[in-house]
Chain A
Amino acid sequence: MSRAVEQYLAQLRASLAGADTALIQDALSDAEEHLTAALEQALAKEPGIAQDAVLESFIETYGAPGEVAAAYKEMETMTTIPFAAAPPSPNIEVRRRHGFFGVLGDIHTYGALLYMLFSLVTGIVYFTWAVTGLSLSAGLMILVIGIPLMTAFLLSVRGIAFVEGKLVEAVLGERMPRRSVFFKKDLGWWGAVKALFTDRTTWTAMLYLILQLPLGIIYFTVMITLIAVSLALIAEPVLHYVFDVPFVQTNHHYYYLPGWTMPFLVIGGILLLIVTLHAARGIGRLHGRYAKKLLVKGE
């Protein structure tokens, strides 16, 4: 990469300090894409142009780093919903999310619930892929074929990490970058392969894929159990009086609860269901943050 582009990006990164990671990444990749093209034009016109003059012309035409950073931050505050067609009124949104029963009106609750139930499936797929790919390519390292195999495998890990990031963004509402972090540096293909191997995100993404299986099992089991218990409690009066199903049944013994417990069971079931939704939303938030740490390139 040219020194002028690098300097400009460094200044832009400094101006963006403290902003959302994904926003920083958006701004830097836009600037890099644009300035590389602009530099090419400048060099075509004047082959021996000085780097300082190039940097100056960047600031002149692309805007001072501080201005550009401000433009991104402003845009971010204007459109904060990542995938909705039109952002809903923020007041309603805030009011709905709060309070014990507010969890029912929050779309992220159901997104998180769905995510946790599906994470068993994605966990199995990710884990299998990561472990198979890693052991296969590591094992074949003694032969020449191991290196291209490993490269292809690491590329696939980055690809999966990108898709998973999109999924987390859509379902859990955690903002993730809009572009994949494939080779950012102008290094040629060999440099790109080296960058793939040395980039921290490649390995943290692989860790994420592997950890997704145990996490998926826990998420799935806990959620299914909580939902099943709450629904069973809520349905107990119907089961008792209509279908004559005992509360507990062992081989030859049937246990029924007395009628006066029924209202308590139903209320308890409803409360447990709402607590479950709270748990789902909370864990979803935590998982979103954790996914961002492992799947997005830190600055």
Chain B
Amino acid sequence: MRSEDRKLLRELNAGTAAIVLLSVVARAQEPIYGYQVARLIGAGSEEAPMMKQGALYPVLRSLERTGLLSSTVEPSVTGPPRRYYRVTDEGRAALERWIMIWSESKSFVDSILKGSYDEQSG
């Protein structure tokens, strides 16, 4: 990947990671830990090369710090304790707003890329 491509990906990712992770945690029926989140969104795989698994955790922590997620640490049988995340009421409200913002900005970018901007403005 070229360096300017990587820069664009990183910048896009900075905004979208929070909404993606918030929605994954919100959709999970039960509290979910980092490794499960990474598996669910296929981070680090061929399909999602923009998202390294290691980059998910600081985003989860910052979502927790802003009160959108809450977490508990549970011991695990095989390894170190796991941090389980669940969405807060505030997080659900934020997700609803974010989805609106996302669909607006997505349709804006799409409309520009498809050239409908030219048609509208004449």
**Chain B contacts for A184, CB-based, 8 A:** 80
Q: Which residue of B lies closest to A76 (CB)?
A: B58
**Chain A contacts for B61, CB-based, 8 A:** 26, 30, 75, 178
CA distance A46 to B31 in the complex (A): 29
Nearest CB in chain A: distance from B36 CB, A: 9
**Chain B contacts for A183, CB-based, 8 A:** 80
Nearest CB in chain B: distance from A39 CB, A: 9
CA distance A60 to B44 in the complex (A): 7
CA distance A184 to B73 in the complex (A): 13
A68 in contact with B54 given A79-B66, A85-B90 (CB within 8 Å)? yes
CA distance A37 to B57 in the complex (A): 14
Whether A186 pairs with B67 at a CB distance below 8 angstroms is no
Whether A71 pairs with B55 at a CB distance below 8 angstroms is yes
Residues of B in contact (CB 8 Å), total 29
**Chain A contacts for B53, CB-based, 8 A:** 34, 38, 61-63
Does A151 belong to the interface (CB within 8 Å)?
Answer: no
Q: Which residue of A lies closest to B71 (CB)?
A: A178
**Chain B contacts for A197, CB-based, 8 A:** none
Whether B62 pairs with A34 at a CB distance below 8 angstroms is no
Whether A68 pairs with B55 at a CB distance below 8 angstroms is yes
Nearest CB in chain A: distance from B45 CB, A: 7
Q: Give the top 8 A-B pairs by smallest Cβ distance, nearest first.
A: A61-B44, A63-B52, A36-B79, A68-B54, A63-B54, A75-B58, A30-B57, A37-B35
17 A-B pairs with C-beta separation under 8 A: A27-B57, A29-B83, A30-B34, A34-B35, A37-B82, A60-B44, A61-B52, A63-B44, A63-B54, A67-B54, A67-B55, A79-B65, A82-B65, A179-B73, A179-B81, A183-B80, A184-B80
